[in-house]
Amino acid sequence: MMIFTDKLIRRKNLFLLTGLFMTLVAVSCAPKYDPKPAPDRRLPEMQTNVATFSTSGNAVENFNLSFTSLGNVAIEEYGIVYAFLPDTTAVNLVIGGAYPTAKFKNAPRMGANTETFNISFPSGMHALSYRAYARVAGGEVRYATNRLNKTY
């Protein structure tokens, strides 16, 4: 009877140790709880401002834009995408397409941002259409909610 009881005790202990080991493994593999939520990804918001033109009226002297929010994602590039057109026809002003960009060199800041470019108006064209853009880390591009047109 004693041998049977010893075997039973050993099996019971082995069962308890196996259960304890399995519980420890399960607890150590469980994902850790992070009490801090991940920060919201806020992208910059901007507005296209009126460009200034040379006194002769045949060149863009400065492009202007205003950031109403810089967001919390790094701005890698920003500026104005523009098109010289025969008239004020609406075109899809996006960067990387058919239209040139005027890239700003200074670091972006809240409020007005202005850069000098002196871009001459091409002959045969009678309109300039432009809007602000910002490319953020990861490659996403944000555009101003407005675009401006100038007939000359």
SS3 78: strand
Q: Which CATH architecture has domain 45-151?
A: Sandwich (2.60)
Q: For residue range 33-74, what is the model confidence (pLDDT) as tens digits?
A: 666 765 788 999 999 999 998 877 778 899 999 999 999 999
Coil, strand or helix: which one is 103? strand
Residue in 151, 152, 150, 145 with CA at minimum distance from that of residue 65: 145
Query: 29: how many CB neighbours lie within 10 A of its CB?
Result: 7
List the domain boundaries for the chain. 1-30, 45-151
Tokens of 90: 């609406």
> Of 22, 51, 75, whose CA–CA distance to 146 is shortest?
51
The burial class, CB within 10 Å (0-12 / 13-18 / 19+), for 38 is: exposed
Residue 106 tokens, joined? 């200074």
**Residue 142 contacts residue 104 (beta carbons within 8 Å):** no
Q: For 15-39, what is each residue's pLDDT tens digit?
A: 666 766 677 666 666 566 666 765 7
